[in-house]
């Protein structure tokens, strides 16, 4: 309850905090209700990954705690071995210690989601290893409930991938039953982080909202939705990839030559399936060739071996290329375009020549269309003299498995290239585009996994402000209110105003 002041501080703590995107967003939040206002203070975060905790401390501005929340049995199941001699099971006292022996008003957790992700097959998700990983969520929530059972946390928020509502149904039912036993009213909902945070990506997520029914009686409002940006709105504010002052996270990844060719033929806004439009004769593309686009080179066209990939399982988003003015789909932790990581159709001419040339290892090329099946080639993809001719011998192209960086101007005139790691971090709103992205370590694969798992701070800020408004109303003694703002979960709007569990 309030102490007579009009300004207050809402305390938040984070389980499975990752690199601290959620904590950074909560810290930026401001809440207001009537004459009351509040800011937010982070008490700490808990994660098993030391590198993630070092990132957390940089982004959240407070100490984090490296802590393994497995029990011994699940540790053995997940790792396939006994824990080290100095390992011990975490207890409620460790939760108190991690949060500086203070009680948060909001607990936010984004638990490991690999077992629920559509990127993992149903069969693999049901193996004992991933079942043990999934149960970390249940144990983490139980430890926290026990730690604060004498003075419960007002809100517990559990964020995860949408598929958890089906693939993790049994686990969710256990979590809901546990929360109800400790006096919480529970609702399940989904939201799009892109719309909440005004991001340049669509990021659908599951959110379980647990409200302590005795402490928090008012409605929980839905955060306002914001318009999505195009990826170009973010990327155009950044330095060009490869710029000497951009830092190690803003490098173009080295890809197999065949991958560069495939990306060049994927139409912007589509994925590998657009390659099925290509006509092939005798193992070569019938209608297209590649021309070297480098000053001083004699213009000559090279025939292109069939670039179409075999994707027998028909996964979507493989070799996906995002249009410059469109929002991307969910930023994930995968590294390569061939396993789900996305690319962008970049129209900026400065990327074809100028800054960054020193790190290009295979020159510049342009996609051109054969004219009427004869030797002449029509102008395309940024070539402006209109007089290409085939010269023999044709210049050799790199081998399909050469790993390099190359600019290939696609038929639409843009460079279809992977996002840099720094760009993914900015699309997640972890950093402002004008600042240099910097995370712990020097490993792009590890960086991308932590970035893909992160909660976008701009979306977390919107969620925190909705929670904060409700807390201020509750602390002022209100138990029911009407508002033009939408209720977060409409079917439970009436039940949300009474002191009853909401999950029946």
How many Cβ atoms from other residues are within 10 Å of residue 429's Cβ?
Answer: 27
The predicted pLDDT at position 220 comes to 67
Q: What whole-number distance in Å separates Cα of residue 377 and Cα of residue 386?
A: 9
The predicted pLDDT at position 102 comes to 98
Show the tokens assigned to 494: 């009436």
Show the tokens assigned to 419: 């996002």
CB 258 within 8 A of CB 266: no
Q: CA-CA distances (angstroms) from residue 181 to 121, 174, 410, 503?
A: 33, 11, 59, 12
- Phi, psi for residue 310 in degrees, rounded to 5: -95, 120
**Residues 310-361: tens digit of each pLDDT:** 876 667 778 999 999 999 999 988 878 887 789 999 998 666 444 444 455 5
- Phi, psi for residue 426 in degrees, rounded to 5: -75, -35
Q: What whole-number distance in Å separates Cα of residue 497 and Cα of residue 481?
A: 8
Q: What whole-number distance in Å separates Cα of residue 241 and Cα of residue 351?
A: 8
The predicted pLDDT at position 250 comes to 94
Catalytic residue, chosen from 113, 193, 297, 374, is 113
Q: What whole-number distance in Å separates Cα of residue 77 and Cα of residue 139?
A: 15
Which CATH topology does 6-230+456-489 take? Rossmann fold (3.40.50)
Taking 3-state DSSP, the helix, strand and coil percentages for the chain, each rounded to the nearest 5, stand at 30, 20, 50
Burial profile 147-164: b = 16 or more Cβ within 10 angstroms, e = fewer: bbeeebbbbbbbbbbbbb
Q: Which residue has the tokens 């100490």?
A: 63
Q: What whole-number distance in Å separates Cα of residue 110 and Cα of residue 452?
A: 12
Q: Which residues pair with 271 in a beta bridge?
A: none
Q: CA-CA distances (angstroms) from residue 467 to 139, 183, 499?
A: 24, 18, 18
Counting as low any pLDDT under 50, the low residues of the chain are 352-358, 372-392, 489-504
The predicted pLDDT at position 54 comes to 98
The predicted pLDDT at position 329 comes to 92
The predicted pLDDT at position 492 comes to 31
Q: What is the pTM of this model?
A: 0.88
Show the tokens assigned to 263: 């990306």
Q: What whole-number distance in Å separates Cα of residue 201 and Cα of residue 116?
A: 21
User: Domain spans of the chain?
Assistant: 6-230+456-489
**Residues 183-211: tens digit of each pLDDT:** 999 988 888 999 999 999 999 999 999 99
Residue 113 annotated in active site? yes
């Amino acid at each position: 309850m309030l102490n007579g002041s009009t300004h207050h501080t809402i305390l938040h703590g984070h389980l499975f905090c990752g690199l601290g995107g959620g904590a950074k967003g909560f810290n930026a939040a401001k809440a207001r209700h009537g004459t009351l206002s509040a800011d937010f203070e982070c008490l700490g975060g808990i994660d098993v990954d030391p590198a993630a905790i070092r990132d957390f401390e940089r982004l959240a501005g407070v100490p984090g705690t490296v802590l393994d929340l497995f029990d011994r049995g699940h540790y053995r199941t997940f790792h396939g071995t006994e824990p080290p001699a100095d390992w011990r099971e975490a207890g409620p006292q460790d939760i108190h210690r991690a949060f500086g022996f203070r009680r948060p008003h909001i607990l936010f957790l984004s638990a490991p989601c690999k077992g629920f992700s559509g990127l993992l097959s149903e069969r693999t998700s049901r193996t004992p290893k991933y079942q043990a990983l999934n149960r970390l969520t249940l144990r983490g929530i139980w430890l926290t409930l026990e730690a604060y059972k004498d003075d419960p946390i007002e809100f517990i928020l559990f964020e995860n991938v949408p598929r958890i509502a089906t693939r993790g149904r049994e686990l969710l039912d256990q979590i809901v039953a546990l929360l109800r036993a400790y006096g919480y009213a529970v609702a399940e909902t989904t939201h799009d982080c892109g719309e909440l945070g005004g991001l340049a990506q669509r990021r659908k997520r599951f959110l379980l909202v647990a409200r302590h029914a005795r402490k928090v009686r008012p409605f929980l409002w839905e955060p306002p939705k914001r318009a999505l940006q195009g990826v170009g709105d973010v990327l155009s504010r950044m330095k060009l990839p490869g710029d000497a002052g951009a830092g190690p996270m803003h490098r173009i990844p080295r890809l197999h030559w065949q991958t560069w060719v495939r990306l060049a033929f994927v139409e912007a806004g589509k994925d590998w399936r657009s390659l099925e439009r290509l006509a092939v004769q005798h193992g070569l593309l019938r209608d297209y060739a590649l021309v070297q686009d480098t000053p001083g080179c004699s213009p000559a066209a090279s025939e292109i071996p069939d670039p179409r990939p075999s994707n027998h399982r028909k996964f979507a988003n493989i070799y996906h290329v995002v249009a410059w003015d469109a929002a991307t789909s969910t930023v994930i932790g995968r590294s390569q375009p061939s396993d789900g990581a996305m690319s962008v159709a970049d129209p900026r001419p400065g990327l074809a020549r100028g800054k960054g040339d020193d790190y290009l290892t295979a020159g510049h090329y342009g996609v051109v269309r054969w004219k009427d099946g004869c030797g002449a080639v029509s102008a395309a993809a940024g070539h402006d003299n209109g007089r290409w001719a085939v010269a023999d011998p044709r210049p050799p192209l790199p081998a399909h498995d050469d790993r390099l960086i190359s600019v290939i101007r696609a038929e639409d005139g843009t460079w279809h290239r992977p996002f840099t790691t720094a760009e993914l971090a900015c699309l997640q709103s972890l950093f402002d585009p004008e600042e240099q992205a910097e995370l712990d370590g020097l490993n792009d694969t590890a960086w991308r996994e932590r970035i893909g798992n992160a909660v976008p701070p701009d979306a977390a800020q919107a969620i925190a402000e909705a929670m904060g408004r409700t807390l201020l109303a509750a602390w002022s003694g209100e138990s029911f209110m009407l508002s033009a703002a939408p209720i977060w979960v409409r079917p439970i709007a009436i039940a949300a105003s009474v002191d009853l569990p909401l999950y029946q």
